[in-house]
Amino acid sequence: MSEQETPTAEESTADEHGDVSAKTDPLAAAPEESLLEVRDLDAGYGDLQILEDVDLDVGDGEYVTVVGPNGAGKSTVMKSVFGLTTYMGGTVVFDDEDIHGLRPEEIIYKGISYVPQNDNIFPTLSVQENLEMGAYILDKVPQDRLQDVYDRFPILEERKSQKAGSMSGGQRQMVAMGRALMLDPDLLLLDEPSAGLAPDLVEEMFDRIDRINDDGTAILMVEQNAKEALRRCDRGYVLAQGQNGYVDTGDRLLADEEVRQQFLGG
Q: What domains can you pick out in the chain, each with its CATH number?
A: 23-111+188-266 (3.40.50.300), 118-184 (no CATH)
Residue 140, pLDDT score: 86
Contacts 24+ apart (CB under 8 A), 114-117: 114/78, 114/82, 114/180, 114/188, 114/189, 114/191, 115/176, 115/177, 115/180, 115/188, 115/189, 115/190, 115/191, 115/193, 116/191, 117/75, 117/191, 117/192, 117/195
Taken in order 66, 154, 160, 187, the sign of the CA dihedral is: positive
In the chain, DSSP assigns E strands to: 36-45, 48-58, 63-67, 86-94, 97-98, 112-115, 187-191, 218-222, 235-240, 243-248
Residue 25, pLDDT score: 86
Q: What is the pLDDT of residues 148-200, one digit of tens each?
A: 999 999 999 999 999 999 999 899 999 999 999 999 999 999 999 998 888 88
Q: Which residues of the chain have pLDDT under 50?
A: 1-17
Residue 14, pLDDT score: 44
Name, in order, each residue with C-beta under 8 angstroms of 264's C-beta and a sequence gap of 6 or more: 226, 227, 254
| Separation in Å, CA 46 to CA 43, 52, 236, 243 | 9, 15, 28, 19
Residue 20, pLDDT score: 61
CA 258 – CA 252 distance, rounded (Å)? 11
Residue 24, pLDDT score: 83
Residue 8, pLDDT score: 44
Residue 127, pLDDT score: 98
